[in-house]
Amino acid sequence: MDFGRALRILIVLPMYGGSLPIGRHCATACAGLGHVVETFEAPDFYGAFSALKNLRVTSDRLEYLENSFLQVVSQAVCAKVETFGPDLVLGLAQAPLSRQALKRLRRDGVRTAMWFVEDFRLFTYWEAFAPFYDVFAVIQKEPFPEKLAAIGQENALYLPLAADPAVHRPLELSPVDRRIYGAEVSFMGAGYPNRRLAFAELLDFDLGIFGNEWDGDTRLAPHVRLSGRRLSTEETVKVFNAATINLNLHSSIGVERLVPGGDFVNPRTFELAMCGAFQLVDERALLPELFADDELARFGSLDELKERLSYYLARPEERAALAGRARRRALADHTYAARMETLFAFTAERFPGWPARKREDAALSGLPPELREELSTLLGELSLPADVSFDDLIWAVRARQGRLSPLETSLLFLDEWRKQYSH
């Protein structure tokens, strides 16, 4: 959707957790679409927040201190909004935005959106915050939108997860990396109860388990790799590429069904597909509309999982064909850039006149030809459109890492001169 100019997007990251890397992928995608992006780095506050637990105070005092701390962080978000002047504030699940901060942003005419990338049945804090966001994007369908409407949130958007093709990609691994990260049957993720019990039935296979929260299980301990530590995104992509078969069993805290058969589709499904890595994924209600039967191999029970592991281990050609089709589908339909475009289009549809037009001089206007060409090159490096405003260009230059070029130094000097003498 063409908004006539680059949007200014402030992405509020959570302090920790699974939605943190998703937030960073969103920032990369928005910048790649030519928008001006700032992230509120809530992880910078996590050390102080977690230190509160070491005070040895009563639980009610700890809760008071934690809530007070989060209020301060929320006020910091508001201060960032005042400085940056975003068209949209996008919070990821667990973002430190209090109801008071959201009310203030709404009062000031700042549009807000939340991408709630969690299971609404398990994480119910949405009930307290959802009505205060202008847009509430979710990874589940009914009855979640109906429940949101019942508490006053009419702008619910189904927005499934995705992958980043610049990060989740096929890799040529060295023999050392294959030895460290490789396994015939591999799983990458946390040790939820259903996974612990299910994987204990797969010990006849060459099973490698990567990720944390697997301690305390003597049966699985010999199969837990890299000391059961949390892996970086880069290491995770190596695990995906090094496996013959990647298991993708969605999490559940219940053990009455080891293959839970829920609705939402986890990020691992899209990331494995984007890597061109073969996966066996458990059946999910929303999976068929995202991937076709000839793009992903599925299983609906533990017996079926065992049967299909044996089947596909013996058929490398079928594995390669499925993985190739899944990667093509992911690249076509399931990027974070596509998700952000959907979110922005939905916001514009629900709020006519958004984003508000701003009277700003284009950065290229009035420049001599020799500077215009040099600045065009810089705009390309910053992924900014040719009609970007001067203020947005300056913001992007200030956010850039590394040594400034002579042109960037001149632009910053000009900006300071404008602030001093233009009023």
Q: What is the pTM of this model?
A: 0.85
Residue 187 has pLDDT above 70, yes or no: yes
Is 310 in the same domain as 399? Answer: no
Q: Are residues 303 and 265 in the same domain?
A: yes
Percentage with pLDDT > 70 across the chain:
95
pLDDT of residue 365: 63
pLDDT mean over 20-40? 95
pLDDT for residue 129: 96
Answer whether residue 410 is part of any domain. yes
User: Mean per-residue pLDDT for 338-348?
Assistant: 98
**pLDDT over threshold 70, residue 92:** yes
Residue 274's pLDDT is what?
Answer: 98
| Residue 215: predicted pLDDT | 93
Query: What is the extent of the structural domain holding 25?
Result: 8-162+335-350
Residues 329 and 180 in one domain: yes
Average pLDDT of the segment spanning 147-152: 98
Where among 321, 350, 379 does a domain terminate?
Answer: 350
Number of independent structural domains in the chain: 3
> Mind listing the pLDDT tens digit for each residue in 344-397?
999 999 999 999 876 555 555 656 666 667 777 777 777 777 767 777 777 777
| 154 shares a domain with 99 | yes
Residue 186 · residue 277 · CB < 8 Å: no
For 245, the token pair is 């078969």
pLDDT tens column, 214-236: 999 999 999 999 999 999 999 99
Residues 326 and 224 in one domain: yes
Q: Are residues 343 and 381 in the same domain?
A: no
Mean pLDDT (the chain) is 92
**If DSSP codes are grouped into helix, strand and coil, which group holds residue 11?**
strand
Question: Distance between CA 98 and CA 216 in Å, rounded?
Answer: 37
Rounded to 5 degrees, φ, ψ at 21 are: -65, -30
Same domain, 298 and 324: yes
DSSP 160-186: ---B-TTTS------HHHHHHH-EEEE
Q: Within a domain: residue 357? A: no
Alpha helices in 11-151 (DSSP H): 19-32, 46-51, 59-84, 99-107, 126-129, 144-150
Q: How confident is the model at residue 277, as a pLDDT?
A: 98
Task: Examine the pLDDT at 61 and tell me if it is beyond 60.
Answer: yes
- Which CATH number do you get for residue 249? 3.40.50.2000
pLDDT tier for residue 138 given thresholds of 50, 70 and 90? very high
Q: Based on the domain organization, do 126 and 223 belong to the same domain?
A: no
CA distance 65 to 43: 18
